[in-house]
Amino acid sequence: MSFDESPKRCWWPGDDADYCRYHDEEWGHPVVDDTRLFEKICLEGFQSGLSWLTILRKRQNFRAAFLGFDIARVAAFNEVDIERLVLDTGIIRHRGKISSTINNAKRARELQKEFGSLAAYFWSYEAAENQERTARKSKQEVPAMTPTSAAISKDLKKRGWSFVGPTTCYAF
């Protein structure tokens, strides 16, 4: 692809090849698959306090460690799995984030039962988020969180989720 044929990009990926690939192939593309949505929200939780690039570069390791983010299988993880994951140098070895992922898998199953799918739950917030996004005019106006991400975070926490603050939900 020549320079003239390169896709129009936002400012944030800069020149980093991993960021550019993520921007061009994933970012902004709607996701309706529950497994991929679960992976995304879990990885955003792991990213808390770190760079997204760190997570992107470890994503394949996370997928292996968490069995492809299969919600039912992760929900069945136990203390032995937590100890195994804490020793896995291929992922972020934060015990709280690992335990949170397992907890959130259990909570995700509850959302699936209540709403039919994670996609149905998360996408129910789409109209409000689109309205907030449309109101922004420049990169200086891109917030760390929005009223919608705060509402999602509050609801998820009420349902027992963890590592899903408003900034994490906005990034998700």
Q: Catalytic amino acids?
A: 22, 44, 52
Spatial CB neighbours of 149, under 8 Å, sequence gap ≥ 6:
129, 166, 167, 169, 170, 172
Cα(2)–Cα(39) distance, rounded to whole angstroms?
A: 33
Structure tokens at 143: 């917030």
Cα(16)–Cα(39) distance, rounded to whole angstroms?
A: 23
Structure tokens at 102: 């397992």
Structure tokens at 145: 């969180």
Residue spans of alpha helices (H) in the chain: 17-25, 34-47, 52-65, 71-75, 79-86, 95-115, 118-123, 126-135, 147-158, 166-171
